[in-house]
Chain A
Amino acid sequence: MRARITFTKQGALRYTGHLDLHRLWERAMRRADLPLSYSQGFHPQPKISIAAALPLGFSSRAEVVDVRFNEEISTEEIASRLKDNLPVNIKVTKVEGVDERAPALQTQVLSATYDVHLTEPVDKSDLTRKVGELMMSESLPRERRGKSYDLRPLIETLNVVTEANGKVSLRMTLSARDGATGRPEEVLNMLDIEPEYTSVERTRLIFQA
């Protein structure tokens, strides 16, 4: 069967990268005694696919992983067996069954929403003005790893938000399609905000309906 698990990734696990997260899930499945499927061949690989790599240092409230099992198991059973077998900084928030023939998870991601908490005090009106200008512009030509591209179409929404504690943060939805992925750091750079003085959390992944 194929199951889709939504989970959080916080705290120390912000510093665990994509490949290590794969291994982490493989071991978690083994601890939970869930019958993980493996590919055929000389070096069997576990059938685990994570929707979209989360950059190192970001936390997330909604990562998604697809896992295939050799047997049918109820989603409740999966959730309950995983519960005590994950490191403290991962919590499963949802488990659902998925059609075996549904397209690969990675190809279905459209965009991602991020909350960027600013750890240093900022002038909110100034920031709001800058955000406005950014969103008004036709194009935002930039360069990344020697390639030029336009950041503007990758930004779907961008807002300045005041949190309950009075602190200012930015909320943005960026495209996350294959070959068209917007990165929060690039947006921050356009706003003259040093990434070191922020903490970024992915709050949602948006998939094709």
Chain B
Amino acid sequence: MLTPEQIETKLDHILLQVQKPGRYVGGELNSITKDWNKAHTRVALVFPDVYDIGVSNVGLKILYDQINQRDDALAERAYAPWVDMEALMREHGIPLYALESKQPLACFDLIGFTLPYETLYTNTLNILDLAGIPVRSADRDETHPIIIAGGHSATNPEPMHAFIDAFAIGEGEEIIHDIINTIQKVKGLALTRSVSKSQRSKVNKDLRPSTFDREALLRELAQIPGVYVPKFYETTYLEDGTVAHTQPIIPEVPKLVNKRIVAKLPPPPVKFIVPNIEVVHNRVSVEIMRGCTRGCRFCQAGMITRPVRERSVQEVVDAADAAVRSTGFEELALMSLSSSDYTYVNELVDAISKRFEGRKLTVSLPSLRIESVSIDLMDKLKQHRSGGFTLAPEAASERMRRIINKFIPDEDIINTTRDIYTRGWKTIKLYFMIGHPSETIEDVQAIVYLCKRIIDEGRKAAGWKIKLNVGVSTFVPKPQTPFQWVACDTRENILEKQTLLKRQLLKDKNIKLSWTKPEDTLLEAWLTRGDRRMAEVIYSAWKNGAKFDAWDEAKKQEAWLSAFEEHGLDPAFYTHRQRRTDEVFPWEHITAAVRKNFLFQDFRQSLEGQIRVDCRLNCFACGILPTFANLRRENPGEGWKCPDVKSPATVTSNQVSVLSDQLPVVGD
């Protein structure tokens, strides 16, 4: 394996031949380079897309801080090299390395990938390969790092089960420490067994490889609540190709892996990495709350990040200030899934505008509800506002709004948008979604009518200069949501709907339309509800050249289709098939603590066009409280938005109190 010095020398020879060499050299303000030899456990955190996108990821930033706060561990970063760099690295025999120390990834103890979306899967394989680490878990031994992954896509880990040693389900703040402690425990034991005292001082690097039992370590990891180690489970299939069940093959591991949460959000990171080159987001992000209670049925994030936990106004404002000071960034994003629902949103906005008065800073407050109050909020941030105003009605007909559980009457939309134009915004961006199986062409037509009305009303109120940007995405049914049973729209239907939108909306010069290509939608749809057999498809697609699947430039549809063919699998099985009501899902043994029977009931309500209100008004016992009852009991109060739990504890104070054999049942 090359040393960091050798890697640096080689880099100096090739870097001037690639676009944006600054992606590959580190040295950013607020990056942390610890003494390699003093850290007992070395962790490489990887965002498997190009640096420009990955560097601002908040999830990994949280983990980077958590790990680097420990004296006995270090965390460094790596991203996917762009294709030009990859080619040169392969040509010159440079393995993928971490930006801080330039140590090859293969020299770390632990590699943690974040998988926020499925189009990063092929890149993950490619990164392992570039690092000289066997792509398949089964081919790794004691000389290789442990490969873990987390993030939203881990709520259906099965398509990646062959490549990732262990998945972290849910929130990472605590579980990452449990994982590191376990590694230290197992490796430490191994060290005392086989290493004499005199040798131990120069231990770490040289002795690490042969001194632990990988299998034993994985077994230990599999017993941490929230950790899923796929190799200890086995899936059997029914004749129709659906899953019969996925079950443990050793007794120590849980039948049902429950996600982890933190009862109270820890202080947000403030020392964000400041890249030395331009990247996509030059901003600090402060999460104001986590989770969402609106219950939009298509939204995976809304289902899997429950419960809602809020930070205090004081904490957010102080963190924002500290983060802006420590980075010098010109933009602040106040992050949440639904800003309007933050209890003290008015106070927050007042406090932010007061604190940053007169300072050059753009503030974004995403996901505002469609009502005039939202405009008041944005008005208060006037001094700090950027370009347009974004709203997400998602559907334009009453019927569809009931189906997806996002009910905003036309009049509210018209009044709000008119008001936005009147108060001086020139551009409004609206998000819609097409492709639900119950959707008819009339529902799509309704999007056109609504947009036309919006711009007509806007013109009456504010003149001819106003603009409307319409973004229409295509619905992808996601695991762990009420729509996990439904089919994804077909290519032909999607194209027909998009053609209608283009034909009718683009007539108006001041309306801009953007849409998702059906190929992108289908790829995401195959992967998101895939089973273990998809792993071979991913592997072959990668071998066929698929990577950077989230990028337009790198479309590899062919690579994917031939991979399906090679393994005798039908893509339509994963996308266009309505699931049986008693179907066992590939992710059945993983839960985000929102129970399957709750999701199923919600699915049935959607078929009946029934709305379910915000669960802050009425707790529906979705599964969060029963699962985390003890945690809630120990952490009462208003930061966490579920009702308080008053009943006495039933199980000893354990993080996760659900019993592993309490598998959710469909139908109640």
Residues of A within 8 A of B (CB): 11-17, 19-20, 23-24, 26-31, 33, 38, 56-57, 85-89, 119, 195-197, 199
CB of B274 within 8 A of CB of A87, answer yes
CB-defined A-B contacts under 8 Å, sample of 23: A12-B27, A12-B28, A15-B15, A15-B22, A15-B24, A16-B22, A17-B22, A20-B22, A20-B277, A26-B328, A27-B328, A29-B328, A30-B324, A30-B328, A30-B330, A31-B325, A31-B327, A31-B328, A38-B360, A85-B328, A87-B27, A89-B27, A119-B9
B11 — nearest CB in chain A belongs to which residue?
A15
Instruction: Give the residues from 517 to 539 in chain B that come closer than 8 angstroms, CB to CB, to chain A.
Output: none
A167: min CB distance to chain B, Å = 14
Check B554 for interface membership: any CB of A closer than 8 A: no
| Residue interface mask B17-33, A partner, CB < 8 A = 1 | 00001101111110000
Q: A16-B22, A27-B328 are in contact. Are A199 and B12 (CB under 8 A)?
A: yes
Complex: chain A residue closest to B282, CB-CB = A23
In this assembly, does B278 line the interface, its C-beta being within 8 Å of a C-beta of chain A? yes
Known: A20-B276, A56-B16, A56-B21. A12 touches B328 (CB 8 A): no
Residue of B nearest to A14 (CB): B25
Evaluate contact between B278 and A23: CB separation under 8 angstroms.
yes
**Given A15-B15, A56-B16: A87 and B325 within 8 A (CB)?**
no
Interface hits, B309-356 → A, CB 8 Å: 324-330
What A residues does B325 contact at CB under 8 A?
31, 33
Flag if A87 contacts B276 (CB, 8 Å).
yes
Known contacts A20-B277, A20-B278, A56-B21: A196-B13 contact under CB 8 Å: yes
Least Cβ–Cβ distance between B629 and chain A, in angstroms: 45
Pair count A-B, CB < 8 A:
70
6 closest Cβ pairs, A-B complex: A12-B27, A27-B328, A12-B25, A30-B328, A15-B21, A31-B328
Of all chain B residues, the one with the shortest Cβ separation from A36 is B360
Chain B residues, CB < 8 A from A23: 278
Q: Closest CB of chain B to A41's CB: distance in Å? A: 14
Contacts of B278 in A (CB 8 A): 19-20, 23
Cα A42 to Cα B425 in complex, Å, equals 16
**Does A27 lie within 8 Å of B327, measured CB to CB?**
yes
- A-binding residues in B (CB < 8 A): 9, 12-13, 15-16, 21-22, 24-29, 274, 276-278, 324-330, 360
Shortest C-beta distance, A16 to chain B (Å), equals 4
| Residue picked from B16, B26, B29, most chain A C-beta under 10 Å | B29
Additional A-B contacts beyond A23-B278, A27-B327 (6; CB < 8 A): A12-B28, A14-B25, A16-B277, A20-B276, A86-B29, A196-B13
B residues within 8 A CB of A14? 25
Residues of chain A within 8 A of B26, CB atoms compared: 12
Given A13-B27, A20-B22: A28 in contact with B328 (beta carbons within 8 A): yes
Bound-state CA distance A15–B9 (Å) is 14
Cβ 8 A contact of B15, one of A24, A38, A57: A57
Q: Do A15 and B25 touch across chains, with their CB atoms under 8 A apart?
A: yes
> Quick check: B326 and A11 within 8 Å, CB to CB?
no
For A87, list chain B residues within 8 Å (CB): 27-29, 274, 276
Q: How far is the CA of A119 from the CA of B16 in the complex (A)?
A: 16
Residues on the A chain within 8 Å of B16, using CB: 56-57, 195-196
Q: How far is the CA of A30 from the CA of B358 in the complex (A)?
A: 13
A12 contact set on B, CB distance < 8 A = 22, 25-28, 276
Q: What CA separation (Å) do A188 and B511 show in the bound complex?
A: 55
Task: Determine how close the nearest CB of chain A comes to the CB of B166; give it in whole angstroms.
Answer: 33
Interchain CA distance A29-B26 in the complex, whole Å: 21
Report A-chain residues with C-beta under 8 Å of the C-beta of B274.
27, 87
How many Å from the CB of B271 to the closest CB on chain A?
11
Q: Hey, which chain A residues are within 8 Å of B328, CB to CB?
A: 26-31, 85
Contact partners of B21 in chain A: CB under 8 A: 15, 56-57
A91 to chain B, nearest CB (A): 13
* Contacting residues, chain B, for A195 (C-beta < 8 A): 16
B587 to chain A, nearest CB (A): 41
With both beta carbons as reference points, the residue of chain A lying nearest to B274 in the complex is identified as A27
Say yes or no: B27 contacts A88, CB within 8 Å: yes
B327 and A13 contacting across the interface, CB-CB below 8 Å = no
Kindly list chain A residues whose C-beta atoms are within 8 Å of the C-beta of B9: 119
Q: Chain A: which residue is nearest B277 at the CB level?
A: A20
**For residue B23, which residue of chain A has the nearest CB?**
A15
Residue of B nearest to A87 (CB): B29
Chain B residues with CB under 8 A of A196: 13, 16
Contacts of A119 in B (CB 8 A): 9
Q: Which residue of B lies closest to A195 (CB)?
A: B16
- How far does the alpha carbon of A15 sit from the alpha carbon of B22 in the complex, in Å? 5
A197 CB contacts on chain B under 8 angstroms: 13
Residues of B within 8 A of A56 (CB): 16, 21
Measured in the bound complex, the distance between the Cα atoms of B21 and A196 in whole Å is: 15
Q: How far is the CB of B362 from chain A (nearest CB, A)?
A: 13
- In the assembled complex, the CB of A19 is this many whole angstroms from the nearest CB of chain B, namely 8
Question: What separation, in Å, do the CA atoms of A57 and B326 have in the docked complex?
Answer: 27
Establish whether residues B327 and A11, one from each chain, have CB atoms under 8 Å apart when the complex forms: no
What is the CA–CA distance of A26 and B276 in the complex, to the nearest angstrom? 12
B27 touches A11 (CB 8 A): yes
Q: Which residue of B lies closest to A23 (CB)?
A: B278
With a CB–CB cut-off of 8 A, which chain A residues contact B13? Answer: 196-197
For the complex formed, measure the closest distance between the CB of B386 and the CB atoms of chain A, giving whole angstroms.
13
Residue of B nearest to A26 (CB): B328
> Within the complex, what minimum Cβ distance (angstroms) separates A89 from chain B?
5
Name the residue on A nearest B33 (C-beta): A88
Point out the residues of chain A lying under 8 angstroms from B25, CB to CB: 11-12, 14-15
Complex alpha-carbon distance, A23 and B276, angstroms: 9
Contacts of B29 in A (CB 8 A): 85-87
A28–B326 alpha-carbon span in the complex (Å): 9
Q: Which residues of B contact A11 (CB under 8 A)?
A: 25, 27
Min distance, Cβ A139 to any Cβ of chain B, angstroms: 29
> In angstroms, how far is the closest chain A Cβ from the Cβ of B324?
8
Set of chain A residues within 8 Å of B12, measured between Cβ atoms: 57, 199
Identify which of B26, B278, B328 gathers the most chain A CB atoms within 10 Å of its CB: B328
For A24, list chain B residues within 8 Å (CB).
Answer: 276
In the bound assembly, the distance between CA atoms of A133 and B387 in angstroms comes to 61
Name the distance in Å between B424's Cβ and chain A's nearest Cβ: 15
Q: Contacts of B276 on A, CB cut-off 8 Å? A: 12-13, 15-16, 20, 24, 87
Contacts of B329 in A (CB 8 A): 27
Q: What is the distance, in angstroms, from B361's C-beta to the closest C-beta of chain A?
A: 9
CB-CB < 8 A to B330: which residues of A?
27, 30
B465 vs chain A, min Cβ distance (A): 16
Q: Which residues of A contact B28 (CB under 8 A)?
A: 12, 87
Which of A17, A31, A88 lies in contact with B326, CB distance below 8 A? A31
B17's closest neighbor in chain A, by CB? A196
Closest CB in chain A relative to B154 CB, distance in Å = 32
Residues in A with CB closer than 8 Å to B360 are 30, 38
Instruction: Name the distance in Å between B439's Cβ and chain A's nearest Cβ.
Output: 43
Most interface-central of A12, A26, A57 (chain B CB within 10 A) = A12
Chain B's nearest CB lies how many Å from the CB of A13? 6
Minimum C-beta distance from A115 to chain B (A): 16
Looking at the assembled complex, report how far the CB atom of A202 sits from the nearest CB atom of chain B, in whole angstroms. 16
Cα–Cα, bound, A152→B166 (Å): 64
